[in-house]
Structure 1
Amino acid sequence: MELSNKHEDTTTKAFAGLRVLDFSTTIAGPHCARMLADMGAEVIKIETDGGETMRTRPPLRNGCSTVFGQLNVGKKSVVLDLKSEDGKEAVRRLVATADILVENFRPGVMRRLRLDYDSLRPVNPKLIYCSISGYGQSGPSAELPAYAPVIHAASGYDMAHLAYQPGRNRPDYCGIYHADVVTGTYGFGAIASALYQRTVTGLGQHIDVSMLESMLTLTVIELQNSQFAVKQPPRPMFGPTETAKGYVMITVASEKTFQALMGVIGRPEWLSDPRFSTYAPRRENWADMMDGVEAWSRRLSTDACLVALGAAGVPASAYRTITEALADPQLAHRQALSEVKDEGGSFRVLKLPFRMSGADTTPGEKMAVLGEHTSELREAVGLTDDVPIPSGKTAEQG
């Protein structure tokens, strides 16, 4: 039986009726705004006539990027020239009708365009204005250029990760942009909080989200260890355990799990061994304990290891590719993926990772082409007749 994320008689979208202006580019801001769109807000993505940079990122089909689609599905697209007075006036007219604005330009850019929070607050005192930047809106680093890989390095995350890789001294390459997704999600949470506060005060506010600080929140233990002298175990506590044909991840994070694991590997005597019987000495002798675990696991296939560990309630998993993970029946049960369409065809995107009993959290079904909604909003934003409407082609197609 598949799991539905809404009751049969419920079609509510939690943010239905809210209007969002999305000036953001690349990942962090668009991710934040797509979360708002999935929750039912009308999100109007403001783009230049060349289109947002992610529109050209592979995979491309008929000039349409599925990565761009993953980040922007369900949004409307309006093309405006923010350097022109017509474009700025169009923004001000939209702001007067909007609830939320999201931008992730380098600090100072929106101020120079006279589209910063202080400039727009008189137009709409209820506006919630969310600025996402590398280091925050003020301070000695505020105007430094920053993308996720730079923030990974600057936050200490990469070196903290490296400390768990024995025998290595060169940091990893950056291919997965944690900083963007985490920061965009914090922006979403802050916006939701500001919306609630607005019901009390009647006023909007400026939200200043720092990628640097967002990334530091991932290093909970390391942040504390950096302030105090903490002796690290000779072998990192959570890493690959070798099997006959591969590796599994085994996580021993409680006394119950430790006791169960000793039963699985046939070492019940280690329950009273002073090296392992309590957490402190077990941590000191972690390498010896895991050598014993691997003496057991190397005799078995990965699947056989997982069956034995699962039967005993020991948390464990094989190391899977993204393709393998997406084929997990658990994701099918939760209907975690949704099919959407653009001019290149159909593709799947991940839904929000939470379900609500009283609200629909599914994403939109269609990806807007560049400038698709400019004509629709021409009167609303007061565009003059001499401001051209784009052809609707993507930047790649044009």
Structure 2
Amino acid sequence: MTPASLPLVGYRVLDYSQFVAGPLATMLLADLGADVVKVESPAGDAYRHYEPLGGGESRRFYSLNRNKRSIVCDLKTSAGRELSRGLIASADAVVHNMPPARARQFELDGGSVRAVNPRAVVAVVSAFGSDGPHADRVGYDLIAQAYSGLLTADARVEDTVPRRSGGIPYSDITAGLLACISVTAGLVARAEEGRPHFEVSLLGAALATQVQTFVRTSADPGLSDAEAKVVTPADLKQTATGIAELSDLEPYYRCYEASDGFFALACLTTTQRQRVLSVLGMEDRWAENPQATPASARERAARMALPYRFAERFSERPVAHWVEFFAAAGVPAGDVRLVQQLFDDDQVGANGLVRRVHQRQGGSVDLLGSMFKIDGVAPQTPVGAPRLGEHTDELVTELAENAATTLTANRGSNTPADPDLGDSHDI
């Protein structure tokens, strides 16, 4: 698929966001063909300076800002806000991650954007959402994980304080995906009198990652007033102990050590579990529901013995043997890898998931490629992340040319220009 045939070609998206969630959303929109303009302060996106390489560039920034243009716009000044209004007038969508009060200050709230361009989709990524007592709080991924229960959902017995799981920003990544979906939906569903205003919060995204466990029935016991206030070390230990016990009792959905490394075994159906038992020549009377609470200490001891029997058997042969062995039996299994190994991995490469770009400070940089395939083809090699303000002159010239064209058209007509015409295009 050529760049000109991508589905969002012809749409302009303004990215006023920083860090992870908003930039991820707009990068995905750029992968789909949108003209993404990164609107930055004179200091630039704060992620430019996180583990910096120099010159306002960093690996983190590279990873989230390919295929974008950058313009410097100081929203703290009247001239900067005037430039911003010109950009908004030319845009199809606006994305930012400012708290409500700051968005109003910089004229990026829904009302201000619609006053300039009633047809623009607005997508906001905030920490806690636009309503409620914490609406104006500043927060990052860790704060959302803490507030949402995500930090304690993966507690370990040895933990003395809650910790992040692998340092992965689950709330940020999920919020970015939701914001991308929101903008795309808004572009598809143009309203007669404007486009939708979408909101995504890191809190909601953190809860979304727990959708399978965020369920309470009328039969579930409620919390006491004390339990509802703060998480104590005793709470953490109790949660961790429960998680550890379930893990110890579950032999079919976990990692094992082979003779030369590790592999993961993942059985979610009784049929798959029975296949494992069959090919290994073992029995398990609890295979239909391995996560059920043991009825007695004797049952618990019997069930906890099976993972050790599996582990002893798996230690006899290498990873490749077990992965192929279970594949032949129709059982999901896969080797455990480090992310550094994936840049040269055949499966990753075959799906276009690694792309090389050139960056001024970093030289040749390998990045995650587009996660989309369209008609079986991944988008072509992306353009690297922009230097701060790299396209300022270019974009200011475009705005001036568009304004001159509009003025000429209006002078040649006895009727006002149709607000539905211009740079917006229906999908």
> Shorter-chain TM-score category?
0.7 to 0.9
Normalising by structure 2, report the TM-score: 0.79
| Inter-partner Cα distance in structure 1 for 2:39 and 2:56 | 20
Query: Structure 1 stretches (4+) deviating beyond 6 angstroms?
Result: 230-233, 280-283
1:252 maps onto 2:277 in alignment = no
Which residue of the other structure, out of 109, 112, 116, is the alignment partner of 1:116? 109
* Equivalent residues in 2 for 1:14-29, closer than 5 Å: 14-29=7-22
In structure 2, how many angstroms separate the alpha carbons of the residues matched to 1:221 and 1:227? Answer: 17
Aligned alpha-carbon RMSD (Å): 2.7
Q: How much has 1:206 moved relative to structure 2?
A: 1.3
- Quickly say closer, same or farther: Cα 1:251–1:227, change in 2 above 3 A: farther
Do 1:74 and 1:363's aligned partners in 2 also have CA atoms closer than 8 Å? no
Equivalent position amino acid for 2:19 in 1? T
3-state SS of paired residue (1:239): strand
Deviations 1:141-196 (A, max 9, x none): 1111200111111111111111xx45545422462211111101100001111111
Aligned residue for 2:130?
A: 137
User: Per-residue CA shift, 1:42-70, capped at 9, x if unaligned?
Assistant: 11111111222111223626663232122
**Is the 2:40–2:70 contact (alpha carbons within 8 Å) kept by the matching residues of 1?**
yes
What secondary structure sits across from 1:158 in the alignment? helix
User: Structure 1 regions of 5+ residues with no counterpart?
Assistant: 1-5, 384-398
TM-score of the two chains, using structure 1 as the length reference: 0.84
Instruction: Kindly report which structure 2 residues correspond to 1:179-328, keeping only aligned pairs within 5 A, or say none.
Output: 179-198=171-190, 201=192, 203-224=194-215, 229=220, 234-236=245-247, 237=250, 238-267=253-282, 270=283, 275-279=285-289, 284=294, 286-328=303-345
Cα drift, residue 318 of structure 1: 2.4
CA drift at 1:92: 0.9
Q: Judging changes above 3 Å, is the alpha-carbon distance between structure 1 residues 379 and 278 closer, same or farther for their aligned structure 2 residues?
A: closer
* Displacement after TM superposition at 1:302 (Å): 2.9
Instruction: Identify which of structures 1 and 2 has the higher relative contact order when contacts are C-alpha pairs closer than 8 Å and 6+ apart.
Output: 1
Change (3 A) 1:195 1:87: same
The answer for the alignment partner of 1:147 in structure 2 is 140
User: Shift of the alpha carbon at 1:213?
Assistant: 0.8
User: Do the aligned residues in 1 keep the contact of 2:126 with 2:200 (CA within 8 Å)?
Assistant: yes
**Which runs of 5 or more structure 2 residues have no equivalent in the other structure?**
222-241, 295-299, 402-427
* Equivalent in the alignment of 2:168: 176
User: 1:57 and 1:227 mapped to 2: Cα distance?
Assistant: 47
The question of whether the paired residues in 2 share the 8 Å contact of 1:131 and 1:208 is answered with: yes
Determine the C-alpha separation between the residues in 2 that align with 1:324 and 1:360. 21
Q: Which among 45, 68, 72 is matched to residue 52 of structure 1?
A: 45
Residues 74 and 366 in structure 1, CA contact (< 8 A), matched pair in contact too: yes
Q: Quote the residue 2:365 is aligned against.
A: 347
Deviation at 1:229, TM superposition (A): 4.9
| TM alignment of 1:324-343, pairs within 5 A | 324-343=341-360
- Once structures 1 and 2 are overlaid, which stretch shifts more, 202-211 or 70-79? 202-211
Shift of 1:84: 1.2
Question: Does residue 1:107 correspond to 2:100, yes or no?
Answer: yes
CA distance in 2, matches of 1:142, 1:233: 35
Give CA-to-partner distance per residue, 1:246-284, whole Å, 9 cap, x none.
Answer: 4322112112211221123221xx2xx5x2253268774
Q: Tell me if the contact between 1:339 and 1:346 (Cα under 8 Å) persists in the aligned partners.
A: yes
Instruction: Go from structure 1 to structure 2 and tell me whether the alpha carbon gap of 1:155 and 1:110 turns closer, same or farther (over 3 Å shift).
Output: same
Pair 1:372 & 2:372 matched: no
Percent sequence identity over aligned pairs:
28
Give the conservation status (yes or no) of the 8 Å contact 2:246–2:291: no
- Other structure's SS at 2:375 match: coil
Question: Are the aligned partners of 1:91 and 1:381 in contact in 2 as well (CA < 8 Å)?
Answer: no
SS in 1 for 2:13: strand
In the alignment, the residues of structure 1 paired with residue 261 and residue 88 of structure 2 have an alpha-carbon distance, to the nearest angstrom, of 56
Once residues 176 and 382 of structure 1 are traced to their aligned partners in structure 2, the CA distance between those partners, rounded to angstroms, is 43
1:201 maps to amino acid: E
Q: 1:288 to 1:105 in 2, by over 3 A?
A: same
Matched length: 368
The change in CA–CA distance for 1:249 and 1:47 in structure 2 (over 3 A counts) is same
